[in-house]
Structure 1
Amino acid sequence: MSDVKRLWHRQGGECFWCGTPCGSKPQEWEFHVDHLTPASRKDLGATNWPRNLAIACAECNHKKSDMLPIEFKLRRLRREEETTFHFSTPVGAEKPPLP
């Protein structure tokens, strides 16, 4: 079995980053093979060894670009915080009931 098929099965056919399904079998190639440490960052030890690879959907792979995993995760967290709505009650107002 090839390294890519092993990765696909190990991840259950889901994107490493967002968990979306990447096809029903590895032969469908509805996924990208992403370098965890980007190939462009050789100074950080980037390799083509299986331990540096992950199955990713096209959207996540393009968004990650040449970021390290921690950089990509932090960027996603910041974006989630920006889109989270925070409700506040004016001072002295009665608190609304919780749903």
Structure 2
Amino acid sequence: MSSRCGVKRPADRLRRAQQIAQRKVHGWRCFYCRRPFTEALPFTFDHYVPYRFWRTTRLRNLVLACQPCNAAKADSLPLTFALLLLRHSGELTATA
């Protein structure tokens, strides 16, 4: 968004910089389903570790996700992260 005089606000520049950085890291695809973004499938920012667990908007916790994947994940932990926490807590034992 721009201010009334057409000058971009710092928050707008920051958000644009985050978008560009995420595209460089993940490509122009959904982080979860890997479908490419289009006008019909626009991107959203998703907190990889849900905001309710880690209250930060740091770039390393944000991923680009399509709306269906973002809505499906909601406030749950990603499976890989949840398994790592379970293994660390001793609840999950490695099987050979």
Q: Secondary structure at the match of 2:76?
A: coil
Matched, 1:30 2:46: no
AA of the residue aligned to 2:26: Q
AA of the residue aligned to 2:32: W
Answer with 1 or 2: which has the greater Rg.
Answer: 1
Structural RMSD (CA): 2.6
Deviation at 1:4, TM superposition (A): 1.7
Aligned partners of 1:37 and 1:46 also within 8 Å: no
Equivalent residue, structure 2, for 1:66: 75
Gaps of 5+ in 2: 1-15, 84-96
Question: Equivalent of 2:26, from 2, 7, 11?
Answer: 11
Aligned partners of 1:36 and 1:52 also within 8 Å: yes
Count, aligned residues: 67
AA of the residue aligned to 2:49: T
**TM-score with structure 2 length normalisation?**
0.59
- Structure 2 CA distance for aligned equivalents of residues 13 and 50 of structure 1: 16
